[in-house]
Structure 1
Amino acid sequence: MTATKFCSQSTPLGSLPGYHTLEHGRLRAEVSAHGARLLQLYFDDQPLLLAYPSAALWLEDIYAVNAVCGRVANRIGGATFSLGGRQYALSRNLGEHTLHGGARNFSNQSWATAERGACEAGFEIHSPDGDQGFPGRVHAQVHYALLEGNQMRITLSATTDATTPIDLTHHAYFTLGEPDCRNLRLSLRAQEVLEKHADLPTGKALPLNELNLSFDHNIGQHIERWRQKKRVDAHGFDHYFPLAKSEQCGLPKAQLQPAAVLLGNKLKMTLHTNQPGILLYTAGHLSGEFSPFSGVCLEAQGYPNAVNRPEFPSPLVSPGQRYQREILLTFAEREHAHGA
């Protein structure tokens, strides 16, 4: 492996805020303070993520490609919620709803560099009271670390000076070197999926039964199976799969649990997390620089619209509490290729 295969500070991507490279074992990563994002992650010479080819395109990104989303990931219905007898009106950036924290959410803001090392990097952002309509001042941090065993650990944390909803996620678009995510195979450790109506969860969890996501079919075949049952449309998945019981998903740090395994033609990725579920997004709405289904997002996060649904685990964080979630990605070569 030669350094010329990756960006340096003198290349166009090196001009992005907080650009830094990490390397350990067979993994190498490029990160930026813009959205506290991964620009690319490599296993040996193989890119694993969807990526723009230039700094200008990264700065114009509207899809949160490989970025940290917040204050609250996913949707808040009607761009509003009530807390302490007060109604909060939020930034609307998805029709009538709030997506990933509003129009100026963490994914399109420049974070500050908190630490840099040979195999780790950290970014932080201070969100003022009233930012996108949310109460309280929030200090959020993300820490990337490359570990032994070809692992990347992503730690998302935050504190606040007033009770407020917080739910951070990492919005990586995984490719494992494949141009179309429908050719990947995915196994999710989930037995249920949240029912949706008008893009919001109804509060009901539906058993997967014969529609479970396993290696028996590739993602494209799963989309077709679900489409025949009228559970998805032609855009594919944008669905939340709970991984744990609600009582296990409170604020105290839970033990990491296996959540998903993704198989490419040559590579395997295993995802562990202490988040309560995975939002599976197969990127059927991508356009412009990217084709639909160019990557798959396995967004480890809390329940969508949880601040408005008391039956879901609460996303509220109060002063003196520390929100902390982790995602552990493990990469390996596949020993035996799966049939088509």
Structure 2
Amino acid sequence: MSQISKRKSVIYKGKEVALYRISNVSGAYIEVLNYGASVVSVVVPGADGRFANVALRYETIEDYFTDQFYLGCTVGRYANRISNARFVLNGQTYNVEKNDGVNSNHGGFNGLNKKIFDARINENSITFSAESVDGEGGFPGNLKFWVTYSFSDENRLRIEYRALSDKETPVNFTNHSYFNLSRQDADISNHEIQVNASHYLETDNNFLPTGKILLLDNSAFDFRKYKTAGEMMPLKKDNLRGYNTFFIKGRHSGIAASARSASSGIAMDVYTTMPGVLLYTGDFLSGRFGPMSGLCLEAQYHPDGLNHAGFEVNILRPGRTKTDIIEYHFYNGERHS
């Protein structure tokens, strides 16, 4: 059974922002923050039994209030980009906030990553809840949102998203944790990556989908077998050193994507109910975090899906609760069932 404790808290904008720890029987633990419903730490054993944090984190709670990189946070209402900050739903055009040039990214200026969530401690999990009013960021509908974190004795970090709206509205939630599974490498170029997909979305130089769904065969994006990020990046021909790429999950795949570090022996598998995973290699990290010091495997719906026929979009229907799951399984040695 998990042990849950509140570690520390501060008052911000008149509300309590608290750091919680969920520990399992082995002493491994995660830490989560009700600001942005964020993952702060994931502390798991390496092959030698020594524990290490494998998620990039800030040192203080206050640092999260000025975060520019979506570090560990819950992203929404709509993860990733919406081209020209505009979409059409049921014949009506909606203009959302332009926080990425002429485009919208990760829900605009005041997305879920900026909210102070209410917290409820359950027997083996923590549920954070928040509301987004009709028109916030330009999105329709009064949205109620819950994210529940749990951490099992098998070192499985499970994230459950649940949402309810009083109007039809598009949603696309994800977790934006940056992982570095090595205890000694400054960047993730030596991480081995595997993605269970056969197709990916082509993007332009602004990381917007062109609408083309491409096969992985003979491309710089073919991670169907374990390959390091470093060996694949020189094969790319775009304007980014690393990856900011959405892979469409195989319909019958259990594990959506995996990453592992030979130096620590720590591996991570990603499971999700959502249709794909975006691999981001942290190229734009800066300041206290160097470029490529962590990688994201963001389970989500198709980026800019509202503006492309054939892309999968998650539309909430009024009064109907929708749930999606992301699970990160951390282990060392052979993969466990």
Q: Does the pair score TM above 0.5?
A: yes
SS at match of 2:113: helix
C-alpha change, 1:186 and 1:216, in structure 2 (3 Å) is closer
Aligned to 1:51: 57
The answer to whether structure 1 residue 218 and structure 2 residue 221 are counterparts is no
- Deviation of 1:57 (Å): 1.6
| 1:230-241 alignment runs, 5 A limit | 230=237, 232-241=238-247
SS at match of 1:57: helix
Taking structure 1 as the reference length, the TM-score comes to: 0.87
- Deviation of 1:234 (Å): 4.0
The answer to whether structure 1 residue 91 and structure 2 residue 92 are counterparts is no
The amino acid that maps onto 1:189 is: N
- Deviation of 1:221 (Å): 1.3
Cα RMSD for the two superposed structures: 2.4
In structure 2, C-alpha distance between the alignment counterparts of 1:10 and 1:287, rounded to whole Å: 27
1:161 to 160, 166, 169: 166
In structure 1, C-alpha distance between the alignment counterparts of 2:260 and 2:10, rounded to whole Å: 32
Whether the aligned pair in 1 keeps the contact of 2:134 and 2:142 (CA below 8 Å) is yes
The amino acid that maps onto 2:218 is: E
SS at match of 2:326: strand
State the identity as a percent. 29
- Please list every run of 5 or more consecutive structure 1 residues that lacks an aligned counterpart in the other structure: 1-5, 246-254
In structure 2, C-alpha distance between the alignment counterparts of 1:110 and 1:11, rounded to whole Å: 12
- Deviation of 1:257 (Å): 2.5
Greater helix content: 1
Greater strand content: 2
Whether the aligned pair in 1 keeps the contact of 2:128 and 2:147 (CA below 8 Å) is yes
Whether the aligned pair in 2 keeps the contact of 1:256 and 1:326 (CA below 8 Å) is no
Aligned to 1:260: 257
In structure 2, C-alpha distance between the alignment counterparts of 1:209 and 1:324, rounded to whole Å: 33
Aligned to 2:37: 36
Whether the aligned pair in 1 keeps the contact of 2:249 and 2:256 (CA below 8 Å) is yes
| 1:74-223 alignment runs, 5 A limit | 74-113=80-119, 115-117=120-122, 119-178=124-183, 179-197=186-204, 198-211=206-219, 212-214=222-224, 216-223=226-233
The amino acid that maps onto 1:110 is: I
C-alpha change, 1:7 and 1:50, in structure 2 (3 Å) is farther
In structure 1, C-alpha distance between the alignment counterparts of 2:42 and 2:130, rounded to whole Å: 23
In structure 2, C-alpha distance between the alignment counterparts of 1:11 and 1:104, rounded to whole Å: 21
The answer to whether structure 1 residue 314 and structure 2 residue 313 are counterparts is yes
In structure 2, C-alpha distance between the alignment counterparts of 1:29 and 1:123, rounded to whole Å: 15
Whether the aligned pair in 1 keeps the contact of 2:6 and 2:18 (CA below 8 Å) is no
In structure 1, C-alpha distance between the alignment counterparts of 2:275 and 2:225, rounded to whole Å: 22
Superposed CA offset, 1:282-306 (max 9, x none) = 0101111210001000000000111
Aligned to 2:24: 24
Whether the aligned pair in 1 keeps the contact of 2:24 and 2:153 (CA below 8 Å) is yes
Superposed CA offset, 1:25-62 (max 9, x none) = 33201111100001111014210101111222221101
Superposed CA offset, 1:128-169 (max 9, x none) = 000000010001111001123221111111110000001100
In structure 1, C-alpha distance between the alignment counterparts of 2:153 and 2:266, rounded to whole Å: 17
In structure 2, C-alpha distance between the alignment counterparts of 1:213 and 1:19, rounded to whole Å: 36
- Please list every run of 5 or more consecutive structure 2 residues that lacks an aligned counterpart in the other structure: 46-50
Taking structure 2 as the reference length, the TM-score comes to: 0.88
Aligned pairs, how many? 316
In structure 1, C-alpha distance between the alignment counterparts of 2:334 and 2:301, rounded to whole Å: 34
- Deviation of 1:118 (Å): 6.4
- Deviation of 1:117 (Å): 4.4
SS at match of 1:202: strand
C-alpha change, 1:17 and 1:180, in structure 2 (3 Å) is same
